[in-house]
Amino acid sequence: MSEKDDGKVRLDKWLWAARFFKTRALAKAAIEGGKVHCKGERCKPSKEPKLGEELVIRAGYDERTVVIRALSAVRKGAPEAQLLYEETAESLVRRENAAAMRKAGSLGVETDGKPSKKQRRALQRFHSDAG
């Protein structure tokens, strides 16, 4: 696959080339699923990204805000792929804080351990009433 002469490239192909997703199909699915926003709005896989545009990309627990610095339809190594975009400072800080909180376990459910017999019965009653 080579880049077209006119410099136009599809958004799903650019996300794949910039190594945000492992396959172009995953990039397309993420765009269609509303995980990629441009200028605060959902976009289509066929959208043509432009230099300087800001994209918000959600993948897993992470949400990145990146500015497009170069266009490419060819997937290369990670060092070259990182030259295609620049992550904003706020996005970087937000991701680092979220990772630290996940590592500390503050987003998980806090429990006192195994439920007591009384708590188990209450859970069973709750599940049987709900179903």
Residue 107, pLDDT score: 55
What is the predicted pLDDT for the residue at 102? 81
Q: Looking at domain 11-104, which of 3.40.50.720, 3.30.70.120, 3.10.290.10, 3.30.420.40 is its CATH number?
A: 3.10.290.10
Domain ranges of the chain: 11-104
Give, for all 131 residues of the chain, the pLDDT tens digit. 444 445 789 999 999 999 999 999 999 999 999 999 998 899 999 999 999 999 999 988 889 999 999 999 999 999 999 999 999 999 999 999 888 888 877 655 566 788 889 988 998 988 888 76
Which residues are paired to 85 by β-bridges?
A: 68
Helices (H) and strands (E) in the chain, counts: 5, 5
Instruction: Give the torsion sign (CA, 111, 114, 116, 119).
Output: positive
- Note the pLDDT of residue 105: 72
The torsion of the CA quartet 59, 60, 66, 68, rounded to 10 degrees, works out to: -20
Task: Say if residue 59 is exposed, middle or buried (CB neighbours under 10 Å; 0-12, 13-18, 19+).
Answer: middle
